[in-house]
Amino acid sequence: SADADEWEAYCASEFAAVNGIVHDVDVLGAGMRLVTLLVDPDGLYKMSRLYITPDGFFFRVHILALDSSSCHKPCPEFKPGSRYIVMGHIYHKRRQLPSALLQVLRGRLRPGDGLIRGSSSYVKRFNRKREWQVRGATHTQCI
């Protein structure tokens, strides 16, 4: 069921940022994008150690999106100005990234920034039903 999707993604993720409006998408190379989301205070569900920067009324969140190799176009999709529900992982020094990728990133990805890898993450266009399901997941016990 759709509810199970949200619940599984929520429990598998280290952070869940909701109501994230895509501010900009920086293409770093084939299959690599650095996405800046503007998240309102209501839109932070499960933070863990996600690094956020206050920006006026919003919080700015940086996420490295690594495309799934099975996609023919950039995926997950991030369109500037669109609102998404995003769940994924948090980058830290111990999380191994290929050295070629680290060279491209050269100081642009900080520990605490979000990390999304193809199929293991959740990126969907925001709608009220999905938001309601994710809010529901915040009250469930993850195994």
Predicted structure pTM score: 0.86
Residue 74: predicted pLDDT: 65
d(CA 95, CA 136): 30
Residue 1: predicted pLDDT: 61
Q: Supply the mean pLDDT for the chain.
A: 86
d(CA 56, CA 132): 26
Query: Would you say 65 and 102 are in contact if contact means Cβ atoms under 8 Å apart?
Result: no
Question: Which residues, 6+ apart, have CB-to-CB distance to 100 below 8 Å?
Answer: none
Residue 2: predicted pLDDT: 60
Q: What is the pLDDT of residues 98-129, one digit of tens each?
A: 888 888 888 888 999 999 987 778 999 999 99
Q: Say whether pLDDT at 133 is over 70.
A: yes
When mean pLDDT is compared across 7-21, 24-38, 52-66, 75-89, the lowest value belongs to 7-21
Return the ∠ at Cα 26 (arms to 110 and 42), rounded to 5°: 65
The residues spanned by each domain of the chain are 2-137
Span 2-137 CATH architecture: Beta Barrel (2.40)
Q: Say whether pLDDT at 73 is over 70.
A: no
Positive or negative torsion for Cα 109, 25, 73, 118: positive
Mean pLDDT of the region 33-38? 95
